[in-house]
Chains A and B, each alone.
Chain A
Amino acid sequence: MAIEINEAGFLSLLQDRGRFGHHRIGLTTGGAMDQNAYRICNKLLGNPEGAAVIEATLGGLVVTATADHLICVTGAPVELKINDETLPLWSCHQLKNGDTLSLKAGDVGLRSYLGVANGFDTDSNFDSVSTVVREKIGGIGGEKLAAGDILNCGDAESTLQMKLLSEQHPIYNSHVSLRVIPGYQYDYFSRIDVKRFFSNRYKVSDRSDRMGYRLLGPSIHSKSKQLLSEGISLGAIQIPADGQPIVLLNDRQTIGGYPKLGSVLSLDISLLAQLRPGNTVEFKPISIETAHNLIHLNEYYINELKMAELM
């Protein structure tokens, strides 16, 4: 029961929900950048929360099955083919022994998720298989996937083939509005700087990666330049000396000393992480109470996903 990687494309990584409880020895979170697509992928496959999937960046992934599997692809709209047949995303498909599956990048979005019923079965480090290449942990030997890698899978007992109703498919755009919970050194920024930040569009720099998204636009300046290093939350908006914001993401360093305006709502990080260099974002402040309600609503939404069984 395994899947063999024929081509790994630009960047394919084994990921799960992330690594928690080890920040104090300097380990980052890692995990699927688009948690929404990742969770739906496992949900459609009937997998437990936290099962491992492949995060393929800009398509380019080609795999062959060495047994019969049930698979599902979610996330950025890529062209999914099994052998020569083009198939829909957000839906389970049979990948039979010897079948070849390929993902080809589309026009928008960056990261797609290939899941398999019962998940990929690899050794975990610190309770997670999430690959963080910089830390050399997770995945296969802490590395990104490469041609020739063989990923063992659980038994494909699941026969239910689910798909997500099309009105529930997330929509990926090249512009995203990000909700922000003001926090950290928010008070260190003048009202004019805060206003500038929330009323302008920022462009995604090509120096963006899983550690953080660097943004280009009107400069923001804080009254304080350098602080004692402190813990950095997922989505923290850091303003370095050049005034160009960086949204810190899954593979961020755990501590840092630049002033921060607050943090992007986790639900919107799923959309941000799908942006390509040159795409744009804008920011909207929300209260922490609103954020709390949104997270609960989203949990309800995920639990009540409208799925249909394929015939």
Chain B
Amino acid sequence: MRVINASENSLIVYLGEQATPDVSDKIYYLADELEKVLTTDLIDLIPSYASLLVIFNPLTTDHFSVRNTILSMNWEAQSNTKKRRETIILPVYYDEEVGDDLNNLAEKKRLAVDEVIELHTGISYLVYAIGFAPGFAYLGEVDEKIAAQRLSTPRMNVPRGSVAIADRQTAVYPAPSPGGWNLIGRCPVKMYDPSTPPYMPIGIGDTVRFEAIDRKKFLSLGGEI
């Protein structure tokens, strides 16, 4: 673990060199503990792939104290703590109608469309980071057989709910936005709802599985074509 100054009121903690489920567990544990210990001294936390940015109130504490708290964390308790990890199932309508790059991707990868879907739904993904836009979760890692480079020209407008792949990451676009990921389907579940806590159905450290649904089910779940 490395703890490094980031700014006058933040420290960045590196818990590993790579993003792995083990590192992700540590980040989640540390974030949880710091919330309990620092209480009102804590302004915000930004967990990401292999790091945690800890933002504190410089008027009530200082970097010495926060660094000490982090360095003296009792890691043995981590194994006793129940893992929060929840598995969330997200339904996806995989079809060229809502996934502009699905057929293209299959062709490029010399796979049948059904095989792409099987590979995408076949494994669980970890929520490594949330950023880029409110509710945009980076999920990893997709099977190498369907890993795909970002589009050379990003789309101006990717519809809400679009399920996409970039390199070995996959995501559901929480709102219409520009984007350069490969679109393979659409999810009817709202990934970001600013009106109701907890605002997102998934959080960092959760696991996500995708489940293929047909057009009819997609529409009945509130999906929009």
Residue A262 lies at the interface, judged by CB distance under 8 Å to chain B? yes
Residues on B with C-beta less than 8 A from A254 are: 46, 131
Listed stretches A32-40, A96-104, A107-115, A226-234; interface member: A226-234
User: How far does the alpha carbon of A41 sit from the alpha carbon of B26 in the complex, in Å?
Assistant: 43
A26-B131, A26-B134, A236-B6 are known contacts. Are A230 and B45 too (CB-CB below 8 A)? no
Contact of A135 with B by CB under 8 A: yes
Interface residue from A255, A288, A299 paired with B46 (Cβ < 8 Å): A255
Interface status of B75 (Cβ within 8 A of chain A): no
Q: With an 8 A cutoff between CB atoms, is B170 at the interface?
A: no
Chain B hits for A135, CB < 8 A? 133-134
Evaluate contact between B62 and A292: CB separation under 8 angstroms: yes
Q: Per a CB cutoff under 8 Å, which of B49, B135, B203 touches A230?
A: B49
* Per-residue interface assignment for chain B, residues 112 to 137, with 1 indicating a CB less than 8 Å from any chain A CB and 0 otherwise: 00000000000000000111111110
- Residue of A137, A183, A233, A292 with most partner-chain B CB within 10 A: A233
| A229 and B199 contact, Cβ closer than 8 Å, known pairs A20-B43, A181-B7 | no
Within 8 Å CB of B62, what residues of A?
292
The A interface, classified by DSSP as helix, strand, loop or mixed, is mixed
Q: A228 contacts B48, CB within 8 Å?
A: yes
Tell me if A173 is interfacial: C-beta within 8 Å of chain B. Answer: no
B contacts with A, residue count (CB < 8 A): 42
Q: How far is the CB of A143 from chain B (nearest CB, A)?
A: 15
Q: Is the C-beta of B44 less than 8 angstroms from some C-beta in chain A?
A: yes
Give the distance in Å from the alpha carbon of A291 to the alpha carbon of B50 in the complex.
27
Q: In whole angstroms, what is the CA distance A26 to B203 when docked?
A: 11
Q: Is the CB of B48 within 8 A of A288?
A: no
Per the 8 Å Cβ criterion, residues 11-59 of A in contact with B are 20-27
Taking CB atoms, residues of chain A closer than 8 Å to B44 are 20-24
Known: A24-B204, A254-B131. A235 touches B12 (CB 8 A): no
Q: Is B53 an interface residue (CB 8 A)?
A: yes
Min C-beta distance of A136 to chain B, whole Å = 8
Among B55, B131, B135, contact of A229 (Cβ-Cβ < 8 Å): B131
Q: Which of B41-67 contact A (CB under 8 A)?
A: 43-53, 55, 58-59, 62-63
> Distance in Å from the Cβ of A36 to the closest Cβ of chain B?
15
The closest CB in chain A to the CB of B132 belongs to: A253
Q: Please give, as numbers and ranges, the residues of chain A lying within 8 Å of B55 by CB-CB distance.
A: 23, 233
**A26→B6 contact, CB < 8 A:** no
Q: Is the CB of B58 within 8 A of A183?
A: no
> Is B182 at the interface (CB under 8 A from chain A)?
no
A161 part of interface (Cβ distance < 8 Å)? no
**Cβ < 8 Å to A, chain B residues 142-187:** 175
| B203 neighbours in A (Cβ, 8 Å) | 24
Cβ contacts A to B, 16 pairs, < 8 Å: A26-B130, A125-B194, A181-B8, A183-B7, A184-B4, A228-B48, A230-B46, A230-B53, A231-B46, A231-B47, A233-B9, A235-B7, A256-B131, A288-B8, A291-B8, A292-B63
